[in-house]
Structure 1
Amino acid sequence: MDSTLTTLAGQIAQLDAVDPAQLERMRHEALTAPAPWKAEYSTYQSGGWWTTSLMNGSGDAADVTIDDCAARPTGLLARMPATSALLADLGLNYMWVRLARLEANAFLWEHRDYDELDQVERHRLHIPLHTNTSAFLVTGGTKVHMTGGRIWRLTPTYAHGVCNLLGPDRIHLIADVYADDTYRRLARRPSLHPANAEPLPAAKETLLAERLQAARSMAELGYPEAAERMLLRLFYAYALPEGTVYDLIAELHTSLGDMEATTRWTAAKRRLLAITA
């Protein structure tokens, strides 16, 4: 890997392969199991992001707000034998395991994870079960399509966002695991292929000014939420300094004289990006 990919692999990387036949059985289970999908973390998303739990502290699949716990299987996992077998074979120390479904034209806005949890070493693993090439993650100014067939590791303490532009639904198994020797063996050879990582173009100041003016025009016509979303989506098209989209939205509302909205979006930036200073 070149130096850019090596750096990026600290944020997102491929680990071991998954047996194709088992992966297909897991995909079928994810698509057909009677899952109680929940729309949690509403401030982090556009709508269209749903999760259901396979392992957690309560054993209830509808309990989807992650926390530190000694995870145990939910009733849903009991109905998914291929998925249960893979999780058992990996032998990891699970904190939480979920299915996450992202619909077409849906976004998880730029954010960081784990800030509210105990400061212990943990890692997030993704196994793509059902995806498409318009579904990708953005981190470090690069968009990464997590292809099927491998276990991926995401370091969610780096600012990142996810989108599914065209569909069909993107469904991933997401396992948050505590670091131990089993995890370290799994993660001993992380890799990131250039075909999976596409650097986004830098956004010139003139372009950002044009988009901000377009958003202001939209808001003045009575569509402030659409204006906000237009600015939020810049994160998925351009390599931007961290938090730029939130700063643009705050600037939009300041220009409109709506200081309550400016304060709200400034606070949202601090919350979503876990800014404490």
Structure 2
Amino acid sequence: MDDAHPTPQPTAALSGQVAEMDRLDGQLIERMRHEALTAPAPWKAEYGEFQSGGWWTTSLMNTSGQAEDVRITDGTARPTAVLEHMPATASLLAGLGLSYMWVRLARLEANAFLWEHRDYDELDQVERHRLHIPLHTNSSAFLVTGGCKVHMSGGRIWRLTPTFAHGVCNLLGPDRIHLIADVYADDAYRHLAGRADAPAGAEVLPRAREADLAGRLEAARRLADLGYIDAAEALLLRLFYSFALPEGTTYDLIAQLHAARGDQEASDHWSAAKSTLLALAS
């Protein structure tokens, strides 16, 4: 390694976006993993505009009590029928003593992506937090937030602040399954959050040079000219997982691609998608 150019380290600000919290018993995690893999869960595809495909969820606790209801809303959560088949998971959730807004299982297949986005913008403006418990994962599944790549490893509760722009991918598989709990701030949450640590092993993504972006844009243009529009867009969207980019860059590049090809309708669509996914004021 060139000592004059050391590898950049994650900034302290990263811990405000993602953090490791309590460590959990390994046998408990294994029981929960088994439950997640075997419970009769009605997996649903939702939020299609946020993903490449391959992201599925099922609700364990929500306001309606229906596992098939997976679009997040505010309210007091109650158990769904799926949680009845998951006693170890139900016991952990009860033991944490948190005020749950929504609890779900989220499954991300191999070669699947959640594109850069923010969450919670459409909900009531009250303090809430998102907790992740990885149940089934692999080293090629990682979160990108704040220009850093973080593998949310098993054995701990993680906190994600989803009001920061972020995305998730699973490059190689097997499926990544997390228990995700959206909770309201209260004394129980603050007690848990008091034991948060900065994420170990976070990796700063390299900054993209103009030549990098120009080369990818040209490659996308060649794909689009051959008729592979979806592949061209995906090539640009995936830049978020390889480089630390200014917010919304991938959406700007896709809009630029379509404008250069004379498709103003598609260009406007992606400019609007940027505002929607990143919760930008119109």
TM range (shorter): over 0.9
Distance 1:78 1:15 in 2: 26
Q: State which of 219, 222, 236 in structure 2 corresponds to 1:217.
A: 222
Alignment of 1:118 with 2:141, yes or no, is no
Q: Quote the residue 1:173 is aligned against.
A: 179
Distance 1:19 1:58 in 2: 31
SS for the counterpart of 2:58 is: strand
Tell me the CA shift for residue 161 of structure 1. 0.2
Q: State which of 226, 239, 246 in structure 1 corresponds to 2:251.
A: 246
Tell me the CA shift for residue 193 of structure 1. 4.0
Deviation track 1:74-119 (CA, whole Å, cap 9, x = no partner) reads 0100110000000000000000000000000000000000000000
Q: State which of 17, 20, 40 in structure 2 corresponds to 1:14.
A: 20
Alignment of 1:236 with 2:236, yes or no, is no
Q: Quote the residue 1:134 is aligned against.
A: 140
Contact 2:118 2:166 in 1 (8 A): yes
Distance 2:65 2:85 in 1: 13
Distance 2:203 2:263 in 1: 37
Distance 1:264 1:161 in 2: 20
Tell me the CA shift for residue 269 of structure 1. 0.2
Contact 2:9 2:204 in 1 (8 A): no
Tell me the CA shift for residue 209 of structure 1. 0.5
Amino acid at match of 2:263: D
Q: Quote the residue 1:258 is aligned against.
A: 263
Contact 1:5 1:192 in 2 (8 A): no
Contact 1:5 1:194 in 2 (8 A): no
Distance 1:257 1:227 in 2: 15
Amino acid at match of 1:69: G
TM normalised by structure 1 equals 0.98
Deviation track 1:50-92 (CA, whole Å, cap 9, x = no partner) reads 0000000111111100100110000100110000000000000
Deviation track 1:185-216 (CA, whole Å, cap 9, x = no partner) reads 00002112442x01101100011011101100
Superposition pairs for residues 48-127 of structure 1, below 5 Å?
48-127=54-133
Alignment of 1:190 with 2:190, yes or no, is no
Distance 2:11 2:200 in 1: 7
Distance 1:198 1:275, change over 3 A: same
Distance 2:112 2:192 in 1: 31
Instruction: State, as a whole percentage, how many aligned pairs show the same letter.
Output: 72
Tell me the CA shift for residue 3 of structure 1. 8.6
Amino acid at match of 2:21: L
Contact 2:136 2:175 in 1 (8 A): yes
Amino acid at match of 1:10: G
- Runs of 4+ residues deviating >6 angstroms: none
Q: Quote the residue 1:200 is aligned against.
A: 205
Distance 2:92 2:23 in 1: 12
Distance 1:153 1:5 in 2: 17
TM normalised by structure 2 equals 0.96
Q: Quote the residue 1:148 is aligned against.
A: 154
Distance 1:110 1:258 in 2: 23
Contact 1:130 1:170 in 2 (8 A): yes
Unaligned runs of 5+ in 2: 1-7
Amino acid at match of 1:47: G
Contact 2:18 2:199 in 1 (8 A): no
